[in-house]
Amino acid sequence: MTSSLPRRLLAEFLGTGLLVAVVVGSGIAAQRLSPDDVGLQLLENSLATTFGLAALILMFGPVSGAHFNPVVSIADWFLGRRSGKGLPVPDLGAYVVAQVAGGVAGAVLANAMFEVDQAISTKDRLGGGHLLSEVVATAGLVALIFALVRSNRGALAAPTVGIYIGAAYWFTSSTSFANPAVTVGRIFSDTFAGIAPASAPAFIAMQVVGMAVAILVVLALYPDAGEKADDVVVPHSS
């Protein structure tokens, strides 16, 4: 059965929103539970994100594919456009709007659940290592998704993508945002997981660069990857 566009947009809005709520909410909880141990805070935050992301992909994937990420949606459109697969341009624009709106709503929800002030983040993340990390983290994420789909292992996306993001919290100095919608959402929480507005544009720019790198890698390894674009991130009706 084909999912209508409104249903898919609702899934992308809710999925992205809940993802940001997981990231921000677990960051707040970690900061409160382990106030004197930043390493333990990061461990708690990364584990919650790993399991939360996997669960959300399983929940919403059958409806929208569980992109939850503008760079994933853009790569899906770009790689599938020649074969008539993947997201058409109008759907792509709608997906991105739903994802960004969901990201902001998720941060507001997390703030409300933990009764912290609804405030813009003051956490500066503009280091050169942070920006390089966003290229690496985003490239790895997008390449992983398309490799799984192209090799007919999309059913493994939920645990695999969750595990990758959890690992990337640790092997990147930026803690792996790897998602423009999540980046925008995290502006709206002045907490452990927040990012200052001045840092966000550079993060997003590097995420786009990472997406471009991933597309080149995918095309080199799997020249016909676009044929499977309808199954990104997981098989669904669209």
d(CA 165, CA 12): 18
CB 130 within 8 A of CB 173: yes
CA dihedral 177, 140, 163, 190 (to 10 degrees): 0
CATH topology of domain 5-227: Glycerol uptake facilitator protein (1.20.1080)
Is cis: bond before 149, omega within 30 of 0?
Answer: no
Nearest to 206 by CA among 124, 135, 104: 135
pLDDT in tens, the chain (238 residues): 568 999 999 999 999 999 999 999 999 999 999 999 999 999 999 999 999 999 999 999 999 999 999 999 999 999 999 888 999 999 999 999 999 999 999 999 999 999 999 999 999 998 999 999 999 999 999 999 999 999 999 999 999 999 999 999 999 999 999 999 999 999 999 999 999 999 999 999 999 999 999 999 999 999 999 999 999 999 886 5
Structure tokens at 200: 């966000």
Helix (H) / strand (E) element for 147: namely helix 128-150
CA 155, 159, 165: angle at the middle one, nearest 5? 125
Report the predicted TM-score, pTM, of the whole model to 2 decimal places.
0.96
